[in-house]
Amino acid sequence: MHSDPKVLVALDFASEQDAMAFVERIDPSQCRLKVGKEMFTLFGPQFVKALSGKGFEVFLDLKFHDIPNTVAHAVAAAAELGVWMVNVHATGGSKMMAAAKAALAPYGDKAPKLIAVTVLTSMGEEELPELGITRSNDEQVLALATLAKQAGLDGVVCSAQEAAMLKAKLGAEFQLVTPGIRPAGADLGDQRRVMTPAEAVAAGSDYLVIGRPITQSADPLATLEAINATL
Ligand SMILES: O=C(O)c1cc(=O)[nH]c(=O)n1[C@@H]1O[C@H](COP(=O)(O)O)[C@@H](O)[C@H]1O
């Protein structure tokens, strides 16, 4: 049992009933919940409020990427919703990230953690040149994470493969949220830069985002408990 659970379960269910059936079997000491583009588009703010109402802290993963004014208002809307964490794409740039940070100032201690996505964990290094990026994956992740830190953000989303490097370069306080987590032997799906839960924590991940290995398991609760036991 944790007061600060490391696992953020990605609730990527197509049906609210399936999501709630899982949520009914767990409690907030075991994990936090991530609501992403699929469930938010289907079920909206009411779904987030229903999870919060059950005592869960929610990571609203909508990966905002737009002009600074629009992102600032979107992030403030997330704060109004009472979420624990919200994210933007670091490639939106330093002005966009600074505007998002400034929009949370009025919320003080109640502001959600604000983090920026660096290079998606589904991407392999060979995909970067098609985006015009000629530096290595690690260099790109570090450059974007450095921009996010300079803009005052709380941390970044990255792969656990970059965690040790980022902790060494940007310090222990800068939070690392790592998707692309796969227990040994689990199906990778579309993820490319992966690590096991225990390896990720050892490498310096503060929070592990885990979806399909839990949500598509025959027994999601047992899988979550087994993962927590390895941490
Ligand atoms: O921001 C995210 O959460 C995210 C960033 C990233 O680089 N990679 C990534 O997989 N995610 C999210 O993390 C979750 C991973 O889910 P699984 O691959 O099913 O474990 C999904 O909901 C993704 O949207």
| Cα Rg of the chain, angstroms | 17
The reply, when asked if residue 47 is annotated as ligand binding, is no
- Residue 4 is among the residues annotated as catalytic for this protein: no
What confidence score (pLDDT) does residue 90 get?
Answer: 98
CATH number of the domain encompassing residue 105: 3.20.20.70
In the structure encoding, which two tokens stand for residue 183, read together? Answer: 């227990």
Range of the domain at 56: 7-230
- The residues pairing with 7 across neighbouring beta strands, listed in sequence order, are 208
226 within domain boundaries:
yes
Nearest CA to ligand 1 atom 9: 179
164 within domain boundaries:
yes
Q: How far apart are CA 157 and CA 175, in angstroms?
A: 9
Nearest CA to ligand 1 atom 11: 179
Average pLDDT, the chain: 97
> Considering only CA atoms, which of 59, 58, 123, 114 is closest in space to residue 89?
114
Nearest CA to ligand 1 atom 17: 211
Exposed/middle/buried for 88, CB within 10 Å: 0-12, 13-18, 19+? buried
1 within domain boundaries:
no
Q: How many domains does the chain have?
A: 1
Q: How far apart are CA 123 and CA 154, in angstroms?
A: 23
| Spatial contact of 69 and 99, defined as CB atoms under 8 Å apart | yes
In the structure encoding, which two tokens stand for residue 2, read together? Answer: 């944790």
- Residue 66 is among the residues annotated as catalytic for this protein: yes
For 96-133, write each residue's pLDDT tens digit: 999 999 999 999 999 999 999 999 999 999 999 999 99
> Considering only CA atoms, which of 77, 75, 34, 68 is closest in space to residue 177?
34
Q: How far apart are CA 96 and CA 48, in angstroms?
A: 25
The reply, when asked if residue 61 is annotated as ligand binding, is yes
> Considering only CA atoms, which of 21, 30, 37 is closest in space to residue 56?
30
Q: Give the burial string for 3-29 (b: 16+ CB within 10 Å, else e).
A: eebbbbbbbbbeeeeebbebbeebebe
Q: How far apart are CA 208 and CA 139, in angstroms?
A: 22
pLDDT-derived band of residue 3, with 50, 70 and 90 as boundaries? confident
CA of 12 to the centre of ligand 1 (A): 9
Ramachandran assignment for 185, one of left (phi > 0), alpha (psi -120 to 50 degrees), beta (any other): left
| Catalytic pick among 18, 49, 54, 66 | 66
pTM over 0.90: yes
Nearest CA to ligand 1 atom 13: 179
Question: Can you tell me the mean pLDDT for 69-74?
Answer: 98
> Ligand 1, from 91, 121, 162, 192: best to mutate by most atoms within 8 Å of Cβ?
121
96 within domain boundaries:
yes
2 within domain boundaries:
no
What confidence score (pLDDT) does residue 1 get?
Answer: 46
- Residue 187 is among the residues annotated as catalytic for this protein: no
What confidence score (pLDDT) does residue 2 get?
Answer: 59
Q: How far apart are CA 231 and CA 225, in angstroms?
A: 10
95 within domain boundaries:
yes
| Catalytic pick among 61, 101, 113, 149 | 61
